[in-house]
Chains A and B, each alone.
Chain A
Amino acid sequence: MRKFLQALSLLLFSTLFFLATYKLPDWLPADIYLRLDPLLGLNAIFASREIIYRALWSLTLIGATVLVGRFFCGYICPMGVAIDFLDLLFFPKKGRRELKQDALLRKVKYVLLIVFLSAGITGLSLAFLMDPLALLTRFYTFILYPLTVTVINLFLDLVRPLFNLLGWVTFSHLHYVQPVYYMSAITLLIFGGIIALNRLAPRFWCRYLCPLGAFLSLFSPLGLFKRKVTDDCNECMKCRKTCSMKAVKENPREISVSECIQCRTCAEVCPREAISFPSSLSLGGEYSPRDLSRRGFLYSLTGGFAVGFLAIRTPFTSLQSKYQLIRPPGAIPEEEFLRTCIRCGECMKSCLTNTLQPCLWESGLSGLWTPKLDLRLAPCEQNCNVCGKVCPTQAIRSLPLEEKSHAKVGTAVLRKEMCLVWAQDKPCLICDEICPYNAIVFRPVDGFRRPVVIASKCNGCGFCEQRCPVKGESAIVVVPNGEIRLKEGSYIKEAKKLQLDFRPDPGDDKFLLEESGFRIEEKKEPVRTIPEEKPSPVKPKGFL
């Protein structure tokens, strides 16, 4: 029963994860697992000092834990399921000795919880480092998703001849675009490490490290279902040996309530059927204090503040607005963005074009794993707004398409010294051709039609930067200058106020013709002769 629910939960998590992509229906909360996570929610609320509405979903999980106990870890947590499953696969249960440092290690998760929350109070979002749902979503995004696509494509290639033979046209042309991500190796190492720790003890992560588990354990002793052992117990210790959380104490009649994840394995294995989990209203009485001493608590609190101080009082913070970082459209102002983003990677998974990539050190520790646009790799698609839809803390605002298309992320700048037209008089026009906003126009300069960016029309989508045929760095790059970052309110209004117009005026090409005095019959002497190009600076390309 438990295994079934676990499998179901992992399936649901995976399904929602894979559904988080372009044309995600508005009603489907693909980020629901992350919304339910009170650690991520609290961390973001602390750090941003704002109420985040999506994070309020986590109240349901807190409520359920108060009511039932720490069932989340045993039944729902997809990380727990992954650990249990891989444990079964890699480490057959026998041969793991009891850890001598058990009591000490148990405190670690509380220390981490306090560190993360107190760092949050200083304004540093850090819980993402070890929150199980953020960790797993990142693992899914950076490893499992690209791997799945690779495997599916390999399979499709393998059976393609068969499809051809059967005449299944659609299948025989099926191919999925391969997503790629920076920092995938680090992500794999961290996840691999968590699994490897199971060598020492089953659910090592859940027992000793998981700060979400620590948080939920604060409420679990209030729960309705508590373990009860009848006098039939003969202290065979079978329950203690099989308890994956090692919650059963040396006297097997007793249990550490905060550690119990309600898996009820003990009741199943008890040869005398002495164990049951009846519902009992026992508020107060059994609420045992944490193992953490007051001193330990203060140390952790100080530690959290110290980390917060170290991460925030750096030049990185002062330079925040000066980095060459293009944030996703709808990202709230940088300082709030860094505080609110929980680095789950969901936006990068859902990104239609794969332009959203994780940051490493571009903006210091406080910017680790935050999403940026890598516009040389891929552009931001004007008809897609999925990154905001799936953001569980709304660090990227969920915007209707019309609003999103006004959320300018930066401005394209032409680097004339590298541009084929400006520097070498070559007839290149790829940036103009691809620009969906008509923000690039050609003006006759020095006897040659040369591209110019109209900044008030550019919304930073980066099609030009991606397609620029110059080798290496693009000759046209999007810089954050001119980006619109709003915490609330309408981007359309803001864009109007700034006199930006992303609904391009199609008359501009005509304007070019008229202004430059284009005539079919008349021949104008070129100011400068360029060998390959026909010498008329003002004629539309392709016409003689």
Chain B
Amino acid sequence: MGKNKCGISRRQFLKTTAAGVAFALVSRPLLSEAKEEHDLVVTSGEPAAATKKALEAIGGISRFVKKGNRVVLKPNMSFSNPPDQGSTTHPLVIATIAQACIEAGAREVLVLDHTLRRAELCLERTGIRDACKQIKGVHVLALQERKFFREIKVPQGKVLERVEVMKEVLESEVLINVPVAKSHSATGVSLGIKGLMGLIWDRESFHSQYNMSQALSDLATVIRPQLTILDATRALVSGGPGGPGNVIKPNLIIAGTDPVAVDSYGVTVAPWYGQKFNGRQVEHLLVAHQRGLGKIDADQLKILKERV
């Protein structure tokens, strides 16, 4: 249409169109492969900038969030500590991701956790509620009542047959796990997979009733975040999960779709309790890997590294 006005002949038009279509056909998979061929994206910098960069590097949040979607972000805001203590996800990391989701057309973004400490204090002192206050469509909630959870079956469960999960997680299109990197007195480290425990009702039984590593893997078979963004801008390398403990600053954001790969790389970015470890040395990650939930050897991962 309008070819005469544009001043190009039909042949030219067809040629150009064909070329365009061909380019699109060839390049589209190439472009997205460029992003998907990497297991992980690791960016270095200040929390907000590094997060933004990581989202760009991974191909934009729109790879995961479509128009009209409801997105759940799962930070770690279980403890009523300020961000510098390293026991909770940095508020700017959460705010940056939430903003990107809204810009990608998300209907609403729910920032959810089942906190260990008193809910109102966690929301206030972690700074996450404040950081998200200005973004329209983002709600930061600590769900502490059983009525907000629903029991689901764990078909591949070895120790866990059923588990009560936040309804909102079950009813949303996208789940993005945004853990913080910290040590943990029961599981060695608490990263993405351990962080999934913040989405269930009964945590105590994981400690007292089950083999924790098996239970965590069982959980990871039913709660599958599309994306894990590990906030390693700070790492609580001892005294975790609640702190206080030694906090170091790796200044890293690690993002990927493979939850085991993200965690395994996360293990290597800081010395835990003064010692270097790798993913295979973390029991719950090894179990998750053995059950086919993801790659564990950080040195064999294809990593796209960027610096802000």
Partners in one complex: yes
Say which one of B24-32, B45-53, B183-191, B290-298 lies at the interface with A.
Answer: B183-191
Which of under 10, 10 to 19, 20 to 34, or 35 or more describes the interface residues of A? 35 or more
Let me know if A436 is at the binding interface, CB within 8 A.
yes
**Interchain CA distance A381-B119 in the complex, whole Å:** 12
Let me know if A294 is at the binding interface, CB within 8 A.
no
The digit string for A361-380, where 1 denotes a CB below 8 A from any CB of B, is 00000000000000000000
Pick from B108, B118, B186: contact of A429, CB below 8 A.
B186
**Interchain CA distance A22-B121 in the complex, whole Å:** 9
In the bound complex, residues from chain A placing their C-beta under 8 Å from that of B239 are 438, 504, 506, 508-509
Say which one of A170-178, A262-270, A321-329, A402-410 lies at the interface with B.
Answer: A170-178
Q: Are A513 and B275 in contact (CB under 8 A)?
A: yes
**Interchain CA distance A33-B148 in the complex, whole Å:** 39
Interface residues of B in 173-208 (CB under 8 A from A): 183-189, 204, 207-208
In the bound complex, residues from chain A placing their C-beta under 8 Å from that of B188 are 540-543
Q: Are B207 and A436 in contact (CB under 8 A)?
A: no
Pick from B145, B207, B244: contact of A506, CB below 8 A.
B244
Q: Are A542 and B284 in contact (CB under 8 A)?
A: yes
Let me know if B306 is at the binding interface, CB within 8 A.
no
**Interchain CA distance A509-B272 in the complex, whole Å:** 10
In the bound complex, residues from chain B placing their C-beta under 8 Å from that of A428 are 207-208
Let me know if B277 is at the binding interface, CB within 8 A.
yes
Given contacts A433-B241, A506-B238, A542-B184, contact A22 B120 (CB under 8 A): yes
Q: Are A542 and B207 in contact (CB under 8 A)?
A: no
Pick from A436, A469, A510, A541: contact of B274, CB below 8 A.
A510
Smallest CB–CB gap between B273 and chain A, Å? Answer: 5
In the bound complex, residues from chain A placing their C-beta under 8 Å from that of B119 are 177
Given contacts A173-B143, A430-B207, A509-B273, contact A541 B245 (CB under 8 A): no
Let me know if B259 is at the binding interface, CB within 8 A.
no
In the bound complex, residues from chain B placing their C-beta under 8 Å from that of A544 are 280-283, 286
Q: Are A173 and B141 in contact (CB under 8 A)?
A: yes
Q: Are B80 and A383 in contact (CB under 8 A)?
A: yes
Q: Which single residue of chain B is at the shortest CB-CB distance from A507?
A: B246
Q: Which single residue of chain B is at the shortest CB-CB distance from A512?
A: B273
Pick from B108, B185, B280: contact of A432, CB below 8 A.
B185
Q: Which single residue of chain A is at the shortest CB-CB distance from B124?
A: A23
In the bound complex, residues from chain A placing their C-beta under 8 Å from that of B286 are 544
Q: Are B186 and A506 in contact (CB under 8 A)?
A: no
In the bound complex, residues from chain B placing their C-beta under 8 Å from that of A52 are none
Smallest CB–CB gap between B276 and chain A, Å? Answer: 8
In the bound complex, residues from chain B placing their C-beta under 8 Å from that of A169 are 108, 110, 139, 141
Q: Is the interface of B mostly helix, strand, loop or mixed?
A: mixed
In the bound complex, residues from chain B placing their C-beta under 8 Å from that of A520 are 275-277, 281
Q: Which single residue of chain B is at the shortest CB-CB distance from A503?
A: B244
Q: Are B283 and A173 in contact (CB under 8 A)?
A: no
Let me know if A435 is at the binding interface, CB within 8 A.
yes
Q: Are A540 and B183 in contact (CB under 8 A)?
A: yes
In the bound complex, residues from chain B placing their C-beta under 8 Å from that of A229 are none
Given contacts A438-B239, A520-B275, contact A542 B283 (CB under 8 A): yes
Let me know if B144 is at the binding interface, CB within 8 A.
yes
Smallest CB–CB gap between A24 and chain B, Å? Answer: 13
Pick from B139, B144, B147, B242: contact of A436, CB below 8 A.
B242
Given contacts A428-B208, A429-B186, contact A518 B275 (CB under 8 A): yes
Let me know if B301 is at the binding interface, CB within 8 A.
no
Let me know if B154 is at the binding interface, CB within 8 A.
no
In the bound complex, residues from chain B placing their C-beta under 8 Å from that of A352 are 118, 121
**Interchain CA distance A532-B80 in the complex, whole Å:** 33
**Interchain CA distance A541-B286 in the complex, whole Å:** 14
Pick from B117, B141, B242, B281: contact of A543, CB below 8 A.
B281
Q: Which 3 A-B residue pairs are closest in the complex by CB-CB distance?
A: A542-B188, A542-B187, A509-B238
4 extra A-B contacts, CB within 8 A, seeds A352-B118, A510-B238: A175-B145, A540-B272, A542-B187, A542-B284
